[in-house]
Amino acid sequence: MAYQGILQRYGSLLGLPDHTQQVTLLEGGTPLVPVPGLVEKLGGDFELFVKFEGLNPTGSFKDRGMTAAVSEAVGRGAEAVICASTGNTAASAAAYAARAGLRAIVLIPEGKVAAGKLAGAIVYGAQVIQVQGSFDDALALVVEITQRTPLALVNSLNPYRLEGQKSAAFEICDTLGAAPDWLCLPVGNAGNITAYWMGFEQYHALKKTGLPQLLGAQAAGAAPLVLGHPVEQPETIATAIRIGRPARGEQALQAAQESRGRILAVSDDEILAAQQMLAGEGLWVEPASAAGLAGLKAEVEAGNLDPRGKRIVVVCTGHGLKDPDVITHSMEKPRVIPAEMGALVDVIKVG
């Protein structure tokens, strides 16, 4: 049978109520891409895969949780969904709401959302509201208004978001035949790392697939879980994870600890270098998505993580097309030539 999305594939393992009415864009089923070229760069002698979540319908992993949250909301008769977002959740909520015929309202931090995400939220027809403040300020507003009105909250405080996001852990185990030794991923509001751990634990209880160690990476300018306290003014080029007060922070720390892993901070330079390394393998991911690889590289180089003989998965959470400005702003403009063969030969210097 043709692929029908994660609720169809894993529905019985996702704790969704009976009233759920499936709203799907055929999310999930993303590739686990081997990257032997990066293994070489990191010293060799292990296996490395990228779970390329940027290939979901709206270009990020958020679609896994959103199909679950919107399907539940529709089933209980909700007419509108609302979220705060650094961009990807907004685009995903907007798309699934459109699919379901619901109104979507998204609050984003003013001027801090990448172009592809903002455009997504707009084209899918959401009401987009810029807040003069951070993501954390926007989330506080959304939490309060959903306590007073029937608007359905679709941030990852909504438990069904996590239920849907567990599906990525199931897919990795199904593809590899077991859990990897390490799973490396970015951490922002901390829903994803929490959901992965729930998923790996559930699959292990059911199918003895084993448990990975989790390596979560926050941006150094937005690293509350590393610092041990909220960050009032988070700042990073990886705007997706520019979050100072993660809603699922406690659970994320517990997941990392239970897995015998950790959450660490990586600098913007390390994030951009990792983004370039992935691009060198033909995988263009947005900056936040490269944080997992940046964390792995830092730990391997510092001698804190011995990859030899291990099987490692790096989760790349969003597509590079979401945030083209990071690249185009930092590069030299491509050469311009007259439409003449002589000029072309001069420039490319072949033969």
Q: Find the shortest distance in angstroms from Cβ 153 to ligand AN7.
A: 13
Q: Find the shortest distance in angstroms from Cβ 69 to ligand AN7.
A: 13
Nearer to ligand AN7, 20 or 89 (CB): 89
Q: What is the Cα–Cα distance from 2 to 204, expressed in whole angstroms?
A: 27
Q: How many Cα atoms occupy the beta-carbon half-sphere of 233 within 13 Å?
A: 1
Q: Find the shortest distance in angstroms from Cβ 241 to ligand AN7.
A: 5
Residue 208: exposure state from Cβ atoms within 10 A (0-12, 13-18, ≥19)? exposed
Q: Find the shortest distance in angstroms from Cβ 85 to ligand AN7.
A: 3
How many other C-beta atoms are found inside a 10 Å radius of the C-beta of residue 267?
Answer: 15
Nearer to ligand AN7, 23 or 240 (CB): 240
Nearer to ligand AN7, 14 or 178 (CB): 14
Q: Which residue has the tokens 């919107």?
A: 70
- Identify which of 271, 255, 187 has the alpha carbon closest to the alpha carbon of residue 224: 187
Q: Quote helix, strand, coil % in the chain, to nearest 5.
A: 45, 15, 40
Q: Find the shortest distance in angstroms from Cβ 135 to ligand AN7.
A: 6
Q: Where along the sequence are the contacts to ligand AN7 (CB under 6 A)?
A: 60, 62, 85-89, 156, 186-192, 240-241, 286, 288-289, 317-318
Instruction: Return the SS3 of 319.
Output: strand
Q: Find the shortest distance in angstroms from Cβ 279 to ligand AN7.
A: 16
Nearer to ligand AN7, 87 or 180 (CB): 87
Q: What is the Cα–Cα distance from 159 to 152, expressed in whole angstroms?
A: 12
Please state whether beta strands 127-131 and 152-153 pair in parallel, antiparallel, or not at all (unpaired). Answer: unpaired
Q: What is the Cα–Cα distance from 73 to 152, expressed in whole angstroms?
A: 7
Backbone conformation region of residue 83, classed left if phi is above 0, alpha if psi is from -120 to 50, else beta: beta
Q: Which residue has the tokens 């984003």?
A: 108
3-state secondary structure 211-238: CCEEEEEEEHHHCHHHHCCCCCCCCCCC
Nearer to ligand AN7, 27 or 286 (CB): 286
Residue 5: exposure state from Cβ atoms within 10 A (0-12, 13-18, ≥19)? buried
DSSP bridge pairs for 219: 266
Q: How far apart are the first and last CA of the chain?
A: 52
Q: Find the shortest distance in angstroms from Cβ 343 to ligand AN7.
A: 40
Nearer to ligand AN7, 156 or 275 (CB): 156
Nearer to ligand AN7, 70 or 240 (CB): 240
Nearer to ligand AN7, 126 or 178 (CB): 126
DSSP bridge pairs for 152: 81
Nearer to ligand AN7, 57 or 87 (CB): 87
